A and B are shown apart, each in its own frame.
Chain A
Amino acid sequence: MAPPPPQSNRSPSPSQPSGKSEVSDLKLQLRQLAGSRAPGTDDSKRDLFKKVISNMTIGIDVSSLFGEMVMCSATSDIVLKKMCYLYVGNYAKVNPDLALLTINFLQRDCKDQDPMIRGLALRSLCSLRVANLVEYLVGPLGSGLKDNNSYVRTVAVIGVLKLYHISATTCIDADFPETLKHLMLNDQDTQVVANCLSALQEIWTLESTTSEEAARERENLHSKPYVYYFLNRIKEFSEWAQCLVMELVAKYIPSDNSEIFDIMNLLEDRLQHANGAVVLATTKVFLHLTLSMADVHQQVYERIKAPLLTQVSSGSPEQSYAILSHLHLLVMRAPYIFSSDYKHFYCQYNEPSYVKKLKLEMLTAVANESNTYEIVTELCEYAANVDIPIARESIRAVGKIALQQYDVNAIVDRLLQFLEMEKDYVTSEALVLVKDLLRKYPQWSQDCIAVVGNISSNNVQEPKAKAALIWMLGEYSQDMHDAPYVLESLVENWDEEHSAEVRLHLLTAVMKCFFKRPPETQKALGAALAAGLADFHQDVHDRALFYYRLLQYNVSVAESVVNPPKQAVSVFADTQSSEVKDRIFDEFNSLSVVYQKPSYMFTDKEHRGTLEFSDELGNLSINAETGDSVVPAQRVEENDKDLLLSTTEKDDVRDPGSNGSAYNAPSYNGSAPSATSQPLADLAFSSTGATGQAPAPGLAIDDLLGLDFSVGTATTPSPPPLTLNPKAVLDPGTFQQKWRQLPISLSEEYSLSPLGIASLVTPNALLRHMQSHSIQCIASGGQSPNFKFFFFAQKAEEASIYLVECIINTSSAKSQIKIKADDQSSSQAFSTLFQSALSKFGLP
Chain B
Amino acid sequence: MPPLMAIEFLCRVADVINGYLGGLNEDSIKDNFVIVYELLDEMIDNGFPLTTEPNILQEMIAPPNIVSKVLSVVTGNSSNVSDTLPGSTASCVPWRTADPKYANNEVYVDLVEQMDATINRDGVLVKCEINGEVQVNSHITGLPDLTLSFANPSILDDVRFHPCVRFRPWESNQILSFVPPDGQFKLMNYRVRKLKSTPIYVKPQLTSDGGICRLNVMVGMRNDPGKTVDSVNVQFQLPPCILSADLTSTHGTVNILSNKTCTWSIGRIPKDKAPSMSGTLVLETGLERLHVFPTFQVDFRIMGVALSGLQIDKLDLKTVPYRFYKGFRALTRAGEFEVRS
Docked-complex contact A314 and B191, CB < 8 angstroms: yes
In the complex, what distance in Å separates the CA atom of A589 from the CA atom of B9?
15
* Band of interface residues on A: 35 or more
Chain B 66-102 near chain A by CB (<8 Å), digits 1 or 0:
0000000000111111011100011010100000000
Q: With A53-B33, A349-B295 known to touch, is A43 a contact of B76 (CB < 8 Å)?
A: yes
Q: Is A57 an interface residue (CB 8 A)?
A: yes
Q: Which of A264-295 contact B (CB under 8 A)?
A: 268-269, 272-277, 279-281
Q: Is A423 an interface residue (CB 8 A)?
A: yes
B297 touches A350 (CB 8 A): yes
- How far is the CB of B37 from the nearest CB of chain A, in Å? 6
Interface string of A1-43 (1 = CB under 8 A from B): 1001100101001010000000000000000000000001001
If the complex has contacts A83-B34, A350-B336, are A151 and B85 also in contact, measured as CB distance less than 8 A? Answer: yes
The DSSP consensus for interface residues of chain B is mixed
A314 / chain B contacts, CB cutoff of 8 Å: 131, 160, 189, 191
Q: Is the CB of A306 within 8 A of B162?
A: no
Assuming the contacts A123-B45, A348-B118, asked whether A313 and B4 have C-beta atoms less than 8 A apart, the reply is: no
Q: Which residues of chain B from 17 to 74 have a CB within 8 Å of any chain A CB?
A: 26-27, 29-31, 33-34, 37-38, 41, 45-46, 48-52, 60
A274/B90 contact (C-beta < 8 A), A83-B34, A322-B3 known: no
B-side contacts of A273, CB under 8 Å: 160-161, 163
Q: Which residues of the partner chain B approach A82 to less than 8 Å between Cβ atoms?
A: 34, 37-38, 41, 81
| Residues in B whose Cβ lies below 8 Å from that of A590 | 1-3
* Partner-binding segment picked from A233-241, A558-566, A721-729: A233-241
CB distance from A715 to the nearest CB of B (A): 59
Chain A hits for B79, CB < 8 A: 77-79
Are B9 and A240 interface neighbours, CB within 8 A? yes
CA distance A343 to B77 in the complex (A): 58
In contact, B78 and A43 (Cβ under 8 angstroms): yes
Q: A162-B46, A309-B158, A386-B237 are in contact. Are A247 and B2 (CB under 8 A)?
A: yes
B90 touches A189 (CB 8 A): yes
Q: What residues of chain A lie closer than 8 Å to B30, measured between beta carbons?
A: 4, 15
Whether B81 lies near A191 (C-beta < 8 A) is no
Task: Report yes or no: B7 in contact with A381, Cβ–Cβ below 8 A.
Answer: no
CB-based nearest B residue for A305? B158
Contact A384 B292 (CB under 8 A): yes
A612 interface residue (CB < 8 Å to B) = no
Q: Does B50 contact A149, Cβ atoms closer than 8 Å?
A: no
Partner of A154, one of B9, B50, B157, B186: B50
The interface residues of chain B lying within 8 Å CB-to-CB of A43 are 76-78
Contact in complex: B45, A281 (CB < 8 Å): no
Q: Which of B106-145 contact A (CB under 8 A)?
A: 116, 118, 120, 126-127, 129, 131
Q: Is the CB of A243 within 8 A of B5?
A: yes
| Distance to closest chain B CB from A596 (angstroms) | 12
Whether the Cβ atoms of A272 and B160 lie closer than 8 Å is yes
Residue in contact with B160 in the complex, picked from A4, A151, A307, A384, CB distance below 8 Å? A307
Beyond known contacts A77-B79, A116-B84, A319-B4: 12 more, CB 8 A cutoff: A4-B30, A15-B31, A78-B79, A151-B85, A238-B49, A238-B50, A269-B171, A277-B8, A310-B131, A349-B297, A384-B293, A422-B291
Could you tell me which A residues sit within 8 Å of B by CB distance? Answer: 1, 4-5, 8, 10, 13, 15, 40, 43, 46, 50, 53-54, 57, 77-79, 82-83, 86, 114-116, 120, 123, 149-151, 154-155, 158, 161-162, 189, 191, 195, 198, 236, 238-240, 243, 247, 268-269, 272-277, 279-281, 306-307, 309-310, 313-316, 318-319, 322-323, 325, 343, 346, 348-350, 378, 381, 384-386, 421-423, 589-591, 593-594
Binding site for A on B (CB under 8 A): 1-5, 7-9, 11, 26-27, 29-31, 33-34, 37-38, 41, 45-46, 48-52, 60, 76-81, 83-85, 89-90, 92, 94, 116, 118, 120, 126-127, 129, 131, 157-163, 167, 170-171, 186, 188-189, 191, 237, 239-240, 291-295, 297, 336, 338, 340
25 contacts between A and B (CB under 8 A): A10-B27, A43-B77, A53-B33, A53-B34, A79-B34, A83-B34, A116-B84, A123-B45, A158-B46, A191-B89, A238-B94, A272-B161, A276-B7, A306-B158, A309-B191, A310-B189, A313-B131, A319-B4, A319-B7, A322-B4, A325-B3, A386-B294, A386-B295, A593-B3, A594-B3
